Chain A
Amino acid sequence: MNARNALLGLLLAGLSAAAVADEPAGMAFRVAKVVSMDRSETVHNDAIVLVQGGRITQIGKPGEVTIPEGFTRHEHPEAWLVPGLIDCHNHTAGTLSDLNDMIYQTNPGLNTRAAIEPENDNIKEARTGGVTSVLLIPGSGTNMSGFGTISKTGGKTPDEVIVRSPGSLKIAQSGNPEWYFGGNSRRFMNWNTRQTLLKAKAYHEAWEAFEQGETTVEPAHNPIFEDFRGLFRKEYPASVHTQAYQVLLTTVDMLSLQLGIWTVLDHCTFDAWKVGPIVAASDCWTINGPRQYQFDRTAARMIGNASGWWKNGVRKLGINTDAPVVPQRELSYQATMACWYGWQPYPALKGVTSIPAEALGVYDRVGSIEAGKDADFGIWTGNPLDPRSACLKTIVDGKVVYDAAKSIRRF
């Protein structure tokens, strides 16, 4: 983590401490089931979850947990408590006019950090579906549209909501950026994207050599490539808009295998699942969506994308909405669709909670219900993947940011 991030962390800690002073001592949630998504995949039945200072402090049976005095009690004895849903692919940082700055075919110097508008309508809507963290990324108008930001869906200022900046580097391999500059083919785009990354890598390596004393000549500072240093140190991944067979193959080959970049494959639609065995053998994360099915012309059948990936051995598999393409609050429904087309409910629920957290490298803070982690979760009437279920409350950083009973249903 670089100095700026560390500073940001301090700022965040300071802010949340200040906020807690005005809050009640803590909260206690009495629920029928906690699907924890911790490493041992514990499911707590009839449990109490205690929250204090924005964190989860304790999970246990009603008889075993003592609720401290002054804690607000949330009694939902028939409800499920599920980790806040996480989406690796969201374009609703601010207004849609901030989606793409189409200056060059690759735009390495940009960052959505500059465009974040907390509490915008799309983010408020996300909370109604139990979504608590999203990776806000720029669009796919060009091959490289800048760095994204991992952000909470609750909080008033950018500093309050940001989990990590940069969250990831957005790359669009193909399938959109070719329309820019009047129709470049994959030959040019892939060559050009590789060139930009090689330049960035050379920049990083020159600085590494200088910092480790291998040379005394200080390299020229270039703010455009500064954020790539963390990328090549594997502090954060590249989120790649990639979909059809050859396009996905190129992403795995170029980014993961040749350049050694921590790679999150986003979309992964059409017939890309056929690359499954190659992806499964790589370090890549696969985040499927928004399309959940493909009409396979040769088989004359509907093929479930997530199911295709799963059956071809891919286990680091999650789901996205590409919000606002599919509204962010329907992330759970995206997972439902994945199951309708052949995937299984438990891995699908992981695919919108712990898997995206791990894919983005923030599982130490979010993505599961464990003592010490951020108090980010949803209270659901049942399994979030059951389309009959509703989210009753959404809690972000230990604060109720959505309460179905109190909110006027805006969406």
Chain B
Amino acid sequence: MTRMLTLGVALLAAALPAVGQVAPERVALTGVRILPISGPAIDKGTILIERGRIAAVGEDVEVPFDARVFELDGRTVMPGLIDVHTWRGMDQPNETRPVTPQLDVYDAIDPSQLFFEDSLRLGVTAIHVMPGDNTVVGGLGRVVRPIGRTLGEMTIAPGSFLKLAVAPKGGFDRMMQMSTLREAFAKLSDELGKLAEARYEEDRKEKDEPVDVVPDEARKRGVKLIRVEDLTDETRNLLRLTGGAVTVGDETGEPLLDPLGAFVHCARAMDVAPAIQIARDNGFFDRLVLVLGPECFKAIPELKKAARPVVLVGDLTHRETDPLTGKVRETFVPRKYADAGLMFSLLPGPSSSLPERMLTYQAARCVRGGVGRDVALRAITSHPAETLGLGDQLGSIEVGRAAHLVVFTGDPLDFNSVVERVFIDGIPAYDRARDVRLQRLLSFQETNAEETPE
């Protein structure tokens, strides 16, 4: 029994590393090849971490006497990989009801899911958990680290994006989808009008003055009187999405709510224009991120004009069969975005294929498909960081950035390389030599080999 529990706790410890423990104040990674992403590679250098942040990077960095030193000669260090859009880590991706701006993935993220441990094992240090694509308005996401026992310990940034979909939800057609989406915003405007009118009337009553204007005018005059506590979760989140189209605040008009952005799912090229339009119409174009299915590359002229960050979901290769000739035409999708100069982020592949789950594999495929190596690496690090508005925190190795670092045994895009260590905010979060579950998996294979008859 004791052994059983020890093992259980050991496995748990592997899954949920030492967040509760105090991370070493200073950590130094010496003798490493550094891929800072934001600048040229350093062939042999040192990274110094202080209190979870990168304090120094370079060939000649003095290591303080009290630093916890990892001598990693011959290894390569790059910024922690970022999974910019996934529903994994929750119990299920979508709600049956179509419009749920009030919901937050906070209520469903399960820190104990193997998904987080697997992400860590593959070098992912930040995960943007989002509602799924089968929705109209899906609610708030959240950026988390794959370590921690609770959401509090895991959270890097609470929800700053709502999930929207222009591609139709199951059972909806595109007209129904767009009509439901427009209706959500119309309802918001109506809701705010009602609140404004009620507050205006209340204000007049307190001042012992008659309400001597028509409702339309009362709705205009009362806008400044709306209080944050008047807003339901639905109204508040949609209002934040429209980003101050209505000033909500105290008497000074100081905005009390942070604006929200949106990840808008487009399955096909025909979805791109409506997505851009709805963002422009409702004041969140500047905070728009487009989540694009493979065929969307056909809308690149519109995307180029919009110049908003995009996230590529689905297969990286798009195949089409000509109905007349039967000829198959293949397009390697990321190449199109790279050539167009758009900021795109890669995701782990949709299939259960093992390599596609690795962001480094996806980036390597880009290189093979003609995308520049630098761009391919940015698509799994700095691009997602900037897309999430965390470019000053994550995605590159620079002084002042959070110390999210992955140590590979060789070049990250070489398929023979494996993740050896991961540091998250300076915490030594993963060590392959102490990965209990991986050792079990590997030892199992070895045992089988021994049992093979001679």
B5 touches A342 (CB 8 A): yes
A245 touches B112 (CB 8 A): yes
Q: Residues of B contacting A308 with CB < 8 Å?
A: 5, 8
A187 touches B108 (CB 8 A): yes
A190 contacts B by Cβ under 8 Å = yes
Q: Residues of B contacting A246 with CB < 8 Å?
A: 91, 108-113
Interface 9-residue window, one of B92-100, B212-220, B342-350 = B92-100
B131 contacts A by Cβ under 8 Å = yes
B139 touches A187 (CB 8 A): yes
Docked CA distance A135–B40 (Å):
68
Docked CA distance A253–B11 (Å):
24
A266 contacts B by Cβ under 8 Å = no
Interface 9-residue window, one of A163-171, A299-307, A377-385 = A299-307
Min CB distance, A11 to chain B, in Å?
43
A186 touches B90 (CB 8 A): yes
| Contact among B5, B92, B96, B103 for A191, CB-based, below 8 A | B103
Docked CA distance A184–B103 (Å):
12
B4 contacts A by Cβ under 8 Å = yes
- Please report B residues at the A interface, Cβ cutoff 8 Å: 1, 4-5, 7-8, 11-12, 90-97, 100, 102-105, 107-114, 131, 139, 149-151, 233, 437
Q: Residues of B contacting A174 with CB < 8 Å?
A: 91
If A278-B150, A303-B4, A303-B8 touch, whether A188 touches B104 (CB-CB below 8 Å) is no
20 A-B contacts, Cβ less than 8 Å apart?
Answer: A182-B96, A183-B96, A185-B92, A185-B94, A185-B108, A186-B90, A188-B97, A191-B233, A245-B110, A246-B113, A249-B111, A249-B150, A253-B151, A271-B112, A275-B149, A278-B150, A298-B114, A307-B1, A342-B4, A342-B5
B108 touches A186 (CB 8 A): yes
Min CB distance, B179 to chain A, in Å?
22
Beyond contacts A186-B92, A187-B105, A249-B149: 17 other A-B pairs, Cβ-Cβ < 8 A, are A184-B96, A184-B97, A185-B90, A185-B92, A185-B94, A187-B108, A187-B139, A188-B97, A190-B108, A191-B102, A246-B108, A246-B112, A253-B150, A301-B7, A301-B8, A303-B5, A342-B5
Closest to B110 in A: A246
If A185-B91, A185-B92 touch, whether A342 touches B1 (CB-CB below 8 Å) is yes
Docked CA distance A224–B150 (Å):
33
A296 contacts B by Cβ under 8 Å = yes
Q: Residues of A contacting B97 with CB < 8 Å?
A: 184, 188
Docked CA distance A183–B132 (Å):
14
| Contact among A183, A190, A299 for B8, CB-based, below 8 A | A299
B95 touches A184 (CB 8 A): yes
A187 touches B8 (CB 8 A): no
- Please report A residues at the B interface, Cβ cutoff 8 Å: 174, 178, 181-191, 194-195, 244-246, 249-250, 253, 271, 274-275, 277-278, 296, 298-299, 301-304, 307-308, 311, 341-342
Min CB distance, B446 to chain A, in Å?
17
Q: Residues of B contacting A195 with CB < 8 Å?
A: 233
If A299-B7, A301-B8, A342-B1 touch, whether A278 touches B139 (CB-CB below 8 Å) is no
Min CB distance, A408 to chain B, in Å?
41
Docked CA distance A271–B12 (Å):
10
| Contact among A178, A189, A304 for B1, CB-based, below 8 A | A304
If A174-B91, A274-B12 touch, whether A187 touches B107 (CB-CB below 8 Å) is yes
Docked CA distance A1–B4 (Å):
46
Docked CA distance A250–B110 (Å):
9
Docked CA distance A341–B1 (Å):
8
A188 touches B5 (CB 8 A): no
A191 touches B104 (CB 8 A): yes
If A274-B112, A342-B1 touch, whether A186 touches B107 (CB-CB below 8 Å) is yes
Q: Residues of B contacting A299 with CB < 8 Å?
A: 4, 7-8, 11
7 closest cross-chain pairs (CB), A and B: A246-B110, A190-B107, A245-B112, A186-B108, A342-B1, A187-B103, A187-B108
Q: Residues of B contacting A186 with CB < 8 Å?
A: 90-92, 107-108
A187 touches B131 (CB 8 A): yes
Docked CA distance A304–B1 (Å):
9
Docked CA distance A53–B195 (Å):
62
Q: Residues of B contacting A253 with CB < 8 Å?
A: 150-151
Q: Residues of B contacting A191 with CB < 8 Å?
A: 102-104, 107, 233
Min CB distance, B291 to chain A, in Å?
18
Q: Residues of B contacting A277 with CB < 8 Å?
A: 149
A188 touches B95 (CB 8 A): yes
Min CB distance, B10 to chain A, in Å?
9
A187 touches B1 (CB 8 A): no
Docked CA distance A303–B1 (Å):
8
Closest to A252 in B: B150
Q: Residues of A contacting B149 with CB < 8 Å?
A: 249, 275, 277-278
Closest to A195 in B: B233
Closest to A174 in B: B91
| Contact among A275, A278, A298, A342 for B437, CB-based, below 8 A | A298
Min CB distance, A337 to chain B, in Å?
14
A188 touches B8 (CB 8 A): no
Q: Residues of B contacting A249 with CB < 8 Å?
A: 111, 149-151
Q: Residues of A contacting B11 with CB < 8 Å?
A: 296, 298-299
Q: Residues of A contacting B151 with CB < 8 Å?
A: 249, 253
Min CB distance, A265 to chain B, in Å?
16
Q: Residues of A contacting B100 with CB < 8 Å?
A: 187-188
**Residue of B1, B92, B149, B151 ringed by the most chain A CB atoms within 10 A:** B1
Docked CA distance A353–B113 (Å):
35
**Residue of A245, A307, A308 ringed by the most chain B CB atoms within 10 A:** A245
Q: Residues of B contacting A341 with CB < 8 Å?
A: 1
Min CB distance, B101 to chain A, in Å?
11
Q: Residues of A contacting B437 with CB < 8 Å?
A: 298
Closest to A343 in B: B1
Closest to A303 in B: B8
Docked CA distance A190–B90 (Å):
13
Q: Residues of A contacting B102 with CB < 8 Å?
A: 191
Q: Residues of A contacting B12 with CB < 8 Å?
A: 274
Closest to B112 in A: A245
Q: Residues of B contacting A194 with CB < 8 Å?
A: 107
